[in-house]
Amino acid sequence: MKAIKTLWASAAALAIVLVYAAASAAPVRIGDWYLGLELPSFALSSGAMTALWAVCYTCDVVVLCRAIVGKKISRSVAVIASGVAGALWSFTFFSLHSLEAALVFAITAAALRIAAAVLCFKDALARIVAAVASAAALYCAVLAYFVAIMNV
């Protein structure tokens, strides 16, 4: 019975993460506006950023699945809210070209991922995986900050 519960939780987690991952990817356009931005020296290439987000979303699936199985509502909310904030970052950055609004959403997403990691204190695997996602989100928030101040 536990295996079936875990399977359903995995399917639910995957479906939820796919929704906000797709919402995050939809507005991404590497066009003239983006190519004209000044980027800090530590900015990853677009291919590396794609890989980073793939790792982050995979971490979300693991943490969310374990939260659903363990009925950890606050952890689930933190993970989902961070995904929504990430999608809003993508929209404000790539569609609205608002570096300041994108910075706010990047910081919000990072804070929510860190909160999710903190809420995993009793689950070693989820804590490690959430820490990886938190580190990626923190990198993105720092990158958003430098992009915003370099392109004022």
Res 1 pLDDT > 80: no
CB–CB of 74/130 below 8 Å? no
Mean per-residue pLDDT, 42-56 = 94
Quote the mean pLDDT of the chain.
94
Q: What are phi and psi of 122, to 5 degrees?
A: -100, 0
- Give the pLDDT band (50/70/90) at residue 28: confident
Q: Report whether pLDDT(9) > 80.
A: yes
Contacts of residue 66, defined as CB under 8 A and 6 or more positions apart, other chains included, come to: 9, 72, 120, 123, 125, 126
Q: Would you state the pLDDT for residue 101?
A: 97
List CB contacts of 133: < 8 A, sequence separation 6 or more: 55, 56, 59, 60, 63, 82, 113, 116, 117
Give residue-wise pLDDT tens across range 67-121. 999 999 999 999 999 999 999 999 999 999 999 999 999 999 999 999 999 999 9
